[in-house]
Homo-oligomer: A and B are copies of this chain.
Amino acid sequence: MTDICDIIAANVRHFRGMKGISQEELAHLTDLDRTYISGIERGVRNPTIRVLEKIAIALDVDICRLISGG
């Protein structure tokens, strides 16, 4: 059973790659710290739903996409 943070990590990394932007740029877009974005993409952070919402908006995807595997 995979931890949900790891799923989010993979998804954020994936969709950020699709957008072709750096962690730093995503950090700027979401108004979050670059090290925090890094932490999320490594699965070591357990973000709140509001943070996830910010990221989803910045990445231009539905929040569900960030959460669900596949």
Contacts and interface: CB of A to CB of B under 8 A. Distances in A.
Contacts of A53: 4
Contacts of A63: 64, 67-68
Chain A interface residue number, banded:
10 to 19
This chain's copy number in the assembly: 2
A49 B64 contact: no
A5 interface: yes
Given A8-B49, A48-B49, 20 more contacts: A4-B49, A4-B50, A5-B49, A5-B50, A46-B48, A46-B50, A47-B48, A47-B49, A48-B48, A49-B49, A49-B52, A49-B67, A62-B68, A63-B64, A63-B67, A63-B68, A64-B64, A64-B67, A64-B68, A67-B67
